[in-house]
Amino acid sequence: MKPIYRGRFAPSPTGPLHFGSLVAAVGSYLEARTRGGEWLVRMEDVDTPRNVPGAAESILATLAAFGFEWDGPVLWQSRRVEAYAAVLQQLRGAGLLYGCACSRQEIAASAGHLAVDGGLVYPGRCRGGLPPGRPARAWRLRVESGETAFVDRLQGRLVQDLQRAVGDFVLRRADGLFAYQLAVVVDDHFQGITDIVRGADLLASTPRQIWLQSCLGYATPTYAHLPVASNAAGEKLSKQTLAPALDPARASRSLLHALRFLGQPAPADLALVTVSEVWAWALAHWSFAAIPRQRSIPLPNPD
């Protein structure tokens, strides 16, 4: 079976592509192409209030300028709300979903400790039913105690007890929007994604996605979480940490740095050739085994 990968991009205030975005895209793209697979582009714009007008078009233009060629049409999550609603109803009918009336303040007052992603572990206040006179604000997926484990191609075996690490998690938010965890799982299944190569900043959310996949009877893709580029303070490169946007005029140089970041012995003169020539070298020399088995790599001065 032909492997199918996807590149994910969000047209939010953090949307303009920077070096960290490029690293994830390059790793995913080269794995797909060197294994005879397809590479699909998804615009993860389900959080519509955060979308910046024109950002999605800018992302696609930057990808094209850097020589990325994707298969098939771009999938826009903002156009798939009916599919998410149908899956939500399916889970509710199976008794796996319940309404939650808790506010953030109430959760903060009763939560025992921080969740793996920096939030608060949900204490299960509404698991047995809504308090009298309190309507549902959000909808949560039930989890059970016990290990959710998977083997990441780069990071090795990872184990998480969802009940302890995050608790029952939100699939539809209090503002009525669908959560990332639901949208990404539904879309991976819809697109037939077999392999996911992405940044290690998303490693902690993978067990939730695997749990949801099992609840829906979906196949679980193969995962590989690449090291993320961080600044001198150890913070992931992002617009919040003032990571500069990619400059298409310096595409070859930036691609060279991304390849080297991923452990590829790219020669310095690739910075002086065309984008097509950089990709030709990368496709001929790509080695997944050379990627550092790390979650983060400092990059004090990203180009």
Q: What domains are defined for the chain?
A: 4-79+189-203+218-298 (3.40.50.620), 82-180 (3.40.50.620)
| Nearest in space to 208 (alpha carbons), one of 197, 190, 195, 223 | 223
What percentage of the chain carries pLDDT values higher than 70?
Answer: 92
For the packed helices 206-216 and 81-93, what is the interaxial angle rounded to 10 degrees? 70
- Band (pLDDT 50/70/90 cuts) for residue 231 is confident
User: Per-residue pLDDT averaged across 295-300, rounded?
Assistant: 84
User: Per-residue pLDDT averaged across 181-209, rounded?
Assistant: 97
Separation of alpha carbons 253 and 260, rounded Å: 11
| Long-range Cβ contacts of 158-164 (<8 Å, 24+ apart) | 158/203, 158/206, 158/207, 160/116, 160/204, 160/207, 162/207, 162/208, 162/211, 164/121
Q: Which amino acid is at 108?
A: A
Both tokens assigned to 68: 């990325």
Q: What is the pLDDT of residues 135-165, one digit of tens each?
A: 999 999 999 999 999 999 999 999 999 999 9
User: Per-residue pLDDT averaged across 296-303, rounded?
Assistant: 69
Is the pLDDT confidence value at 11 over 90?
Answer: no
What pLDDT is recorded for position 303? 47
Least confident of 14-28, 60-74, 107-121, 199-213: 107-121
The H or E element spanning position 170 is strand 169-172
What pLDDT is recorded for position 15? 59
In eight-state DSSP terms, residue 269 is: G
Cβ pair 44, 9 in contact under 8 A: yes
Alpha helices in the chain (DSSP H): 19-34, 55-65, 81-93, 104-110, 162-165, 180-191, 206-216, 251-261, 275-285
60, 276, 296 from 69: Cα distances, Å: 10, 11, 27
What pLDDT is recorded for position 299? 79
Catalytic residue among 239, 260, 285, 295: 239
61, 74, 300 from 57: Cα distances, Å: 6, 11, 29
61 three-class SS = helix
Q: Is 239 among the residues known to form the active site?
A: yes
Q: How far apart are the first and last CA of the chain?
A: 38
Is the pLDDT confidence value at 112 over 70?
Answer: no
48, 76, 128, 187 from 80: Cα distances, Å: 12, 7, 31, 9
Write down the pTM of the prediction. Answer: 0.93
What pLDDT is recorded for position 238? 60
Is the pLDDT confidence value at 13 over 50?
Answer: yes
Q: What is the pLDDT of residues 243-273, one digit of tens each?
A: 688 999 999 999 999 999 999 999 999 999 9
Cβ pair 178, 186 in contact under 8 A: no
